[in-house]
Chains A and B, each alone.
Chain A
Amino acid sequence: KNEVEQSPQNLTAQEGEFITINCSYSVGISALHWLQQHPGGGIVSLFMLSSGKKKHGRLIATINIQEKHSSLHITASHPRDSAVYICAAQCGTDSWGKLQFGAGTQVVVTP
């Protein structure tokens, strides 16, 4: 069983819709990462958070440490947001930063 679970696996939205991706983890973490992977493979780090909420443009990431749950929200979605979004838990206090990855959520935003 994967220690980091994401839902949904796939998501299709119309342009302008509000999108939420959920991530639950069962391990103790020091930080939670949200990554974006575009077609072709390149991965970009969107957020790294250990508490509360972070916002960057139309993207918002929240984390609830007690419930071991994080969400990534995309407001006013756009076709260029189409990508795979990956949640990754940074475990324990190892300084080299080992990550446990979720399987990813494929997001397609249609015009």
Chain B
Amino acid sequence: DVKVTQSSRYLVKRTGEKVFLECVQDMDHENMFWYRQDPGLGLRLIYFSYDVKMKEKGDIPEGYSVSREKKERFSLILESASTNQTSMYLCASSHPAQGDSWWDTQYFGPGTRLTVL
């Protein structure tokens, strides 16, 4: 079974703090993703990585950065947390498409519910 784990299920931080969210996958997936999920807005892509040390901005990267030093680990960093970053954060991983298949399944972690006070 593919397993994607996230470091915390619940996290409470104060405005201005630096926050690290960690994600680890055990299936040797090349692609890893960070999403945030807010009521009425669905899932939105923050950043993704298609290889070690490679990263690309998603739809809402402002206020976030990422780090991928090892293939299995993808970290999301909030340099200075703000109240509008209170959200559910979900990590996912996948293999890249193979051959003629242009699609692949993303496997999600359990999520981290972050509250910024």
Contacts and interface: CB of A to CB of B under 8 A. Distances in A.
Task: Report whether chain A binds chain B.
Answer: yes
Interface of A: 2, 30-31, 33, 35, 40-45, 48, 50, 86, 88, 90, 93-99, 101-104
B60 interface: no
Interface residues of B, number: 29
A11 B44 CA distance: 23
A98 B48 CA distance: 9
A95 B107 CA distance: 16
Contacts, number: 70
Interface stretch (B12-20, B62-70, B76-84, B89-97): B89-97
B97 A95 contact: yes
Nearest to A92: B102
B110 A99 contact: no
A41 B103 contact: no
A99 B103 CA distance: 10
A41 B5 CA distance: 12
Nearest to A50: B103
Given A95-B97, A103-B41, A45 B111 contact: no
A5 to B, nearest CB: 10
Contacts of A95: 96-97, 102
